Structure 1
Amino acid sequence: MSSKNFVRNMVWAAAVAGLVSFVERSAAADYWVPPGDGVPALPDDEVQFASNWYVRGDLAYAQESFPKIAPDSTFGASQSVLNSYSAGVGGGYKINDWFRTDLILDYRSKVQAAAIGPSIRCITAVDASGNVTATDICTSHLNTEIHRWDLLANGYVDLATWGGFTPYIGAGAGVTWSRNWQSDTWTMSNGLPYQVSTNGFFFDFDRSQTRMHYQFAWALMAGVAIAMTDHAQLDVGYRFLDLGTVSGFSGLTGTSVSQRVFVNELRAGVRYMID
């Protein structure tokens, strides 16, 4: 064999060997081997789901500037400090790392008071001509019961997070409503219900009323959220509330009176992210 033929045969052999190697590598790339038997599985792309919705529950202790209901006073005569409590539930949405919003329904503790009001000289007997023939000292007994709720939509700015602590500020607005029941009954000096002995005349000081009140309410708040788990945070803060006016009637004159109620509230609750 000549040297020329030898070189040509070697070139053909190298080309055939390269083609075979290429085909084998291509087949191996297309051939999928299931995981197991010592063959590692291919990593899946990591998928994270976050709805950004959360639910919350809160308890609060409050001091309210409330109409004074006490002995020798009339409903709404002056302000007093009322210690109260509230419990709330709600849900919200975290828009981004800086802003979130929620809707909270609160039930506030019932206001209940019984007071001995003013004593006045009252008519107890009248003759046929309308002349007063007897009087006595009569005393009023004032009873009040108020049930209250408020529903507020709130927005918050989360300032930043340091070591799991996230301070925030916020504001809210909504509606507050209450069911107010009030009665005023009178007794004579002998302790019996007030009555008049008369011929055709009738005197009655007793009165009662039940009303539902719906009013605008607003709030300002500040606090800090403390991370407990990846999904739960402890929320501790302060809230100022303007709950509008509460109305009733004077135990002395029977005229309608009202006063505005302001609330300073310390709140603690849990927020849970739904992921």
Structure 2
Amino acid sequence: MRTLKNLIAAGAASLISSAALAADLPPPPMYVPPPVEDFGGWYLRGDIGFSNQQVKSLDNALYHDPGVSVQHTGLGFDTAGIFGLGAGYRFNNWFRADVTGEYRGKSNFHGVDVVTVNGTPFGTNTYTGSKSEWLVLANAYFDLGTWWCITPFIGAGVGGSANTISGFTDTGQPAASLAFGPTATKWNFAWAVHAGLAYKVNPSLTMELAYRYADLGDGITGDMYTWNGVNAVNNPMHFKNITSHDLRFGVRWAIDAAPVYAPPMLPLMRKG
């Protein structure tokens, strides 16, 4: 009986001693997840798409002759392709900026005006021709959060547009007339606003589907001349306030992409 009591007392003493020793030891290190990096970096981009363009009005020196009134109807352009390249920098998860240059392909122009002289209908003019542009923009974008790898964004850009009018022809009826406008290019201040969705395929590659409204300024032909080369007054045709609703598909390639994940930090094992 005494032996059993001695064993119980010895076990209790050993348990108390172990608990006291454990209390003196430092706590095991806790797992701390790695911080999420607000990653930025350089990227390249490419875009293709198509335009839907309008012109507010046409203007010519002859429109301002005394008693002449001109009413435009059906001025417009056909759809044309857009091809662009650019480079930019992503500052953090919500702000990035880039510089883009693009060629906007030739778009056929068509329009009609009705001419009235001293209140009496005089005739109509039917216009044809084509237009193309080189557009350079500096853009800034705000990414609005990411859900299932999809990031909506908005943005704005400013820059310049070189608008080229070519093959311009003016055919008059019923008083038969024919005039031509030589090819000419005009540089303008341009601006744009953007909205779209971006899908991150992997850390290096992001695809975009975006809408853009672009104000491209004005266009101008060379000095108009008749079928026999006669022209008594300098009267190039002015295209006033050219705008476009663009739909674009783009890709962004990150030059220094963030890693897919950070390996977890494992606690150190104590020896002894």
Question: What CA distance in whole angstroms lies between the structure 2 residues aligned with 1:186 and 1:165?
Answer: 51
Please say if residues 168 and 223 of structure 1, whose CA atoms lie closer than 8 Å, have aligned partners that are also in contact.
yes
Give 1:214's match in structure 2, choosing from 161, 182, 187: 187
**8 Å contact kept, 2:47–2:85:** yes
**Partner-residue secondary structure (3-state), 2:46:** strand
TM superposition shift of 1:150: 0.2
Aligned to 1:271: 252
1: distance between equivalents of 2:242 and 2:71?
A: 11
Aligned equivalents of 2:149 and 2:178: distance in 1? 62
Match in the other structure for 2:21: none
Q: Does 1:256 align with 2:237?
A: yes
In 1, Cα distance between the equivalents of 2:253 and 2:185?
A: 34
The residue correspondences of 1:16-31 to structure 2 (distance < 5 A) are none
**Change in 2 beyond 3 A, CA 1:159/1:66:** same
Task: Tell me if 1:238 matches 2:211.
Answer: yes
The yes-or-no answer on 1:57 pairing with 2:30 is: no
Shift of the alpha carbon at 1:62?
2.0
With normalisation by structure 1, the TM-score equals 0.57
1:88 and 1:107 in contact (8 A); partners too: yes
1:114 to partner: Cα distance: 8.2
Q: Deviations over 1:129-173 (max 9, x none)?
A: xxxxxxxxxx99966343311000000111111221111110000
The number of residues matched between the two structures is: 191
Distance 1:238 1:56 in 2: 16
Structure 1 segments unaligned to the other structure (5+ residues):
1-47, 119-138, 188-193, 195-203
Identity %: 29
Structure 1: how far apart are the matches of 2:55 and 2:224? 15
Q: What letter matches 1:270 in structure 2?
A: V
1:178: Cα distance to partner? 2.4
CA deviation map 1:90-124 (0-9, x unaligned): 01000111110001111111134589999xxxxxx
Q: Offset of 1:68 from its aligned partner? A: 8.6
CA distance in 2, matches of 1:206, 1:111: 20
Does structure 2 retain, via aligned residues, the 8 Å contact 1:140–1:251? no
Question: Which of 204-213 and 149-158 deviates more?
Answer: 204-213
Which has the greater radius of gyration?
Answer: 1
Contact 1:68-1:76 at 8 Å conserved across structures: no
1:266 deviation in Å?
1.3
For 1:121, the equivalent position in structure 2 comes to none
Aligned residue in 2 for 1:22: none
Aligned partner of 1:170 among 151, 155, 159: 155
For the aligned residue pairs, the C-alpha RMSD in angstroms reads 4.0
Of the three residues 99, 105, 113, the one matched with 1:109 is: 105
Distance in structure 2 (CA, Å) of the matches to 1:96 and 1:53: 11
CA contact 1:140–1:186 (8 Å) conserved in 2: yes
Structure 1 residues 159 and 242 mapped into 2: Cα distance closer, same or farther (>3 Å)? same
Change (3 A) 1:179 1:262: closer
In 2, distance between residues paired with 1:59 and 1:94?
21
Please point out which of 42, 55, 79 is paired with 1:66: 55
Structure 1 residues 246 and 162: alpha-carbon distance in aligned structure 2, compared to 1, 3 A threshold = same
Task: Spell out the pairing of 1:26-41 with structure 2 (5 A cutoff).
Answer: none
State the Cα distance separating 1:250 from its structure 2 match: 7.3
Tell me what 1:83 maps to: 79
Equivalent residues of 2:162, 2:188 under 8 A apart = yes
1:229 Cα deviation (Å)?
A: 1.2
Q: 1:256 to 1:158 in 2, by over 3 A?
A: same
The answer on whether the counterparts of 2:89 and 2:97 sit within 8 Å (CA) in structure 1 is yes
The TM-score normalised by the length of structure 2 is 0.58
Task: Tell me the CA shift for residue 56 of structure 1.
Answer: 0.7
* Shift in CA distance, 95/76, structure 1 to aligned 2, threshold 3 Å: farther
Q: Is the 8 A contact 2:140 2:156 kept in 1?
A: yes
